[in-house]
Structure 1
Amino acid sequence: MSLIRLLQALAAAALVALLGNPAQAQQASSAQDLVALTQQWVDQALAQLPAESSALRMQVTVGQLDARLRLAPCARVEPYLPPGARLWGRTRLGLRCLGGETRWNVFVPLTVQAFGPAWVLTGNIATGHALSEADAVQAEVDWAAEPAAVVTSREAWLGQVAARQLVAGQTLRQHMVRAPHLFKAGSPVQVRVQGPGYAVTSSGQAMSAGAAGQNVRIRMANGKIIAGIVNDDGTVEANL
């Protein structure tokens, strides 16, 4: 599990544990009260995160409820995390009235930021360009600004190629780079085919471009199509 996924899961678990405590259900008489309670609940949940989150500086901004909304007074408001919601980026927290003449349910918008070290591009990068040391510098960025995971180590991007056009100032994220292709579609490739008790090396034709670790399809000399994994040297390992 990536660090981002881990932090998302930990933050959600902390909030669920916090909100599962009946003592957290509190009284509110106005929209301002609800916003204040939301800030309190989320701050408490993030404060419970374990040491795994120490690399990031978490910051929560609570949005406003619709000014046209008129809610009946409630002696017991309970917060909850809506299905599919997570404490990461732009999200929301549900609030429901459990102790009032009129039951109601509203959602308060949240923005959860997670500041930490990452790599930022120093200039524009063309699709297919192999990234070098000069193409990125380390800086503190908001990991939660986008859903995709950030690239945290130099080794994860150095020598990789841009999967699309990139712009100066962008934070490098995993979907932005890929391993360089070792062969193109239609290129001849060496294939090592393994089966029960045997291993045979033969040649075939790549049906798509291939990078190290990628699953590709190869058309063999007899016309049969097999699938295999690209090795670091550009050969393909297949199992039958």
Structure 2
Amino acid sequence: MSLTRSPSALRARSRDLVRLAGAAALCSAGLAWGQAAAPVAQDNPEMAAVSAQVQQMARDSAGRAGLGQARVEVEVGSLDPRLKLAPCQRIEPYLPPGLPVWGRTRIGLKCTQGSKLWNVTLPITVHVWSRSLVTQTALAGGTQLAAEHFTEAEVDLAAAPGLPISQPGLAIGRTLSRPVPAGTALRQTDLKARQWFAAGETVRVVAVGPGWQVVTEGEAMNPGLEGQTVRIRTESGRLLQGRPVGDRQVEVAL
């Protein structure tokens, strides 16, 4: 079992889900009929139909993102009950700029046709459930991970930033950066950054540009830590900045 897409790709594929969830938000808030903000009864047939549509769109979105077995749930919250909004004949849902499209987020609701235009946001939570690795027992920070530390369970991919680690080979031998409880879905942020080389070591530098690639060697000016920038001095004395990508290997984009 492998999650092959990046978090950014999954979020991009989820945008249609969040936009459709806005339709459910309209029903939940009771705004399409110009009412004050209030939740709608669970047995409301229109809300049930929209919720079913949201669920189907969510499954389709997860499938396109490479998570065909993912189970997606959308929870629509309520507006502040103190809000008194003017009747509106046309309400457009939208995703406010900068907000995530899964996990805890908000949907914008904009009145574009009415006696008094308004613009509010409504809380929603998007859960994306899929099977992944979780810890079998509570583990202390500094634990070097082994195969017996893991089992497989359904986890909410949207519960925290980044995708959980889905393959044992990506975790075995790594060291925990913090204590984790039993049943935790391990993510890259739970692991100590790997040091691919030390300052002063000779490293292989791969410079990549549009349609070309150059390979050379240089001296690392600082330790090559996973996820951090490293400075390299080439044989000609030129200073470059790159990204450690493996054992004594650096990638530079020019």
TM-score normalised by length of structure 1? 0.70
Task: Between 91-100 and 212-221, report the one with greater CA deviation.
Answer: 212-221
Q: Specify the alignment match of 2:37 in structure 1.
A: 31
Per the alignment, residue 166 of structure 1 pairs with 179
Q: In 1, distance between residues paired with 2:131 and 2:173?
A: 20
Which amino acid in structure 1 is aligned with residue 15 of structure 2? Answer: A
CA contact (8 A) 1:43 1:60 kept: no
Residue in structure 1 matched with residue 102 of structure 2 by the alignment = 88
Structure 1 runs of 4+ off > 4 angstroms?
14-20, 33-43, 182-185, 190-195, 199-202, 211-232, 234-239
Q: Counterpart in 1 of 2:73?
A: 59
**Residue number in structure 1 paired with 2:57:** 48
Q: Structure 1: state its 5+ residue gaps.
A: none
How far, CA to CA, are the matches of 1:19 and 1:10 in structure 2?
A: 16
CA distance in structure 1 between the aligned counterparts of 2:240 and 2:38, rounded to whole angstroms = 63
- Note if 1:125 corresponds to 2:135: no
2:10 is equivalent to residue 7 of structure 1:
yes
Structure 1 contact 15–42 (Cα < 8 Å) conserved: no
Aligned AA (1:13): D
Give the 3 Å change call, closer, same or farther, for CA 28–179 of structure 1 in structure 2.
Answer: same
Partner deviation per Cα, 1:52-88 (whole Å, 9 max, x = no partner): 3432111111112112111122232222221223430
- Offset at residue 144 of structure 1 (A): 0.6
Instruction: Report the alpha carbon displacement of residue 112 of structure 1 after superposing the two structures with TM.
Output: 0.9
State the shift of 1:235 in Å: 4.4
Q: 1:157 is matched with which residue?
A: 171
TM-score normalised by length of structure 2: 0.67
> Any gaps of 5 or more consecutive residues in structure 2?
208-214
Shift of 1:18: 8.8
Answer with 10-19 or 56-65: which moved more. 10-19
Contact kept? 2:36, 2:81, Cα under 8 Å: no
Query: For 1:92-148, what per-residue CA distance to the aligned partner results, in whole angstroms no more than 9, with x for missing partners?
Result: 111122332221111110111111112222222323x43111222221111111122
Give me the whole-angstrom Cα distance separating, in 2, the residues matched to 1:94 and 1:228: 40
Asked whether the 8 Å contact 1:190–1:236 carries over to 2, the reply is no
Q: Structure 2: how far apart are the matches of 1:15 and 1:200? A: 46
User: Matched residues in 2 for 1:92 and 1:38: separation?
Assistant: 18
1: CA distance, partners of 2:113 / 2:242: 61
Work out whether 1:71 is the aligned partner of 2:85: yes
State the partner residue of 2:121: 107
Equivalent residues, number:
227
Which of these residues, 182, 187, 201, is aligned with residue 189 of structure 1?
201
Residue 221 of structure 1 deviates from its aligned partner by 11
Q: Percent identity?
A: 31
| Alpha-carbon contact 2:217-2:234 (below 8 Å) kept | no
Alpha-carbon distance, 1:43 to partner: 5.6
1:142 aligns with 2:151: no
Deviations 1:4-61 (A, max 9, x none): 43332122035548979xxx99544232368988887676345225333432111111
Residues 208 and 217 in structure 1, CA contact (< 8 A), matched pair in contact too: yes
Structure-2 separation of matches of 1:86 and 1:237: 31
| 3-state SS, counterpart of residue 134 of structure 1 | helix
SS of the aligned residue for 1:31 comes to coil
Greater radius of gyration (CA)? 1
Q: Secondary structure at the match of 1:167?
A: coil
* SS of residue matched to 1:150: coil
Q: Kindly state the Cα deviation for residue 160 of structure 1 after the two structures are TM-superposed.
A: 2.0
Aligned AA for 1:29? Q
